[in-house]
Structure formats: structure tokens, C-alpha cells
Amino acid sequence: MLDGPEEDDAELVEDPADDDFWQAICDGLQPTTLVCEQWAHGVRGYRWWRVAAPADVAAVRHEVRPRSLVRFVFQPDLGFSEDMLEESFTAFRTPLEPGELEYREYPFGTDTLEEVRDADFTLALIERDLDDRQAVVPDADGVIRACWER
């Protein structure tokens, strides 16, 4: 989230997490569909869910907080690769059941993939593999009052 003045060349996320956004997730559901919320308030953090049915999507929609950034990805490659040594990624524990997921962020990559596996994380998503499908959760009155950089 941008805390200071906006830079002129920064591309901002202006799409609302509205009915159309959530319907797009429902319409595209795949065996593995992940949804990520990046919090707007408090300690900067994330929550991840696997959604497998429209009811799962509705539950996530109810959980996300106003002003958060929400992103989703269909059928991501969750295998380990050497790229993860130098790139930002998120590791997940299995089983990857529908609902909120256990995960660990590796914002600067890792020295060894064994470090990740030793912590019982067996799946991983490289940050750059997250699709550009993202939106900002509006406040209760439907107005977006947060700026996120794309």
C-alpha cells in the first residue's frame, strides 16, 4: 500500500473487489484456485485460501478486510525450482484443502530449498507467477479508499 505521495509513474490498482471480481473467480474455478489478501491495516501481512466451489469464494469474500488488496490465481505451478533461491515466493503446507492455508513468506528467496522442505512446506508459488488479477476491497459504503501499486 502506498503510504506517501503517489509517484506519477506508479501504476495503481483501481479495480474494486466487487460482484464482478468475485464472479470472475467463481467462473474460472479450477482444481487449484488460490486467493491472497494483502492487509491494509495493522502489521503488514497476508492471508491465503484455496477455493474449490462458489461457497468457498463467498466465504473468502466475507472474510477479507476493507482496503485490502485481493489477488487470485488459477492452476498455479506449485513445484519447487531453482528460481526460488533468488526470487520472492510463498511456501504452503499440504494437504492443500479448501479454506485458509498455512504458509510462510520468503520475500528474498532462500539459501537452500532444503530449508523450506525441512520446515514441512512442500508446495511453493513464485511471486511473479501470481496473475495480474487483483482488486481493492471497498469500504462498507462501496467506496475504495486505499491505493495499491500494481
The domain ranges of the chain are: 15-76+131-150, 81-129
Predicted confidence (pLDDT) at residue 6 exceeds the cutoff of 60: no
More confident call, 1 vs 10: 10
Predicted confidence (pLDDT) at residue 100 exceeds the cutoff of 60: yes
pLDDT tens figures, 23-77:
999 999 999 999 999 986 655 689 999 999 999 999 999 999 999 999 999 999 9
Predicted confidence (pLDDT) at residue 84 exceeds the cutoff of 60: yes
With contact defined as beta carbons under 8 Å apart, do 38 and 111 qualify?
no
Backbone φ and ψ for 49, nearest 5 degrees, come out as: -135, 150
With contact defined as beta carbons under 8 Å apart, do 64 and 37 qualify?
yes
Mean pLDDT for 10-20 is 91
Instruction: Evaluate the CA torsion angle 18, 20, 33, 31 in order and state its sign.
Output: positive
Q: How many CA atoms are closer than 13 Å to the CA of 21, on its beta-carbon side?
A: 20
Q: What angle do CA 87, 89, 91 make, to 5 degrees?
A: 145
pLDDT tens figures, 127-143:
888 877 899 999 999 89
- Identify the band that residue 146 occupies on the pLDDT scale cut at 50, 70 and 90: confident
pTM (2 decimals)?
Answer: 0.87
HEC letters along 88-141: CEEEECCCCCCEECCEEEEECECCCHHHHHHCCCCEEEEHHHCCCCEEECCCCC
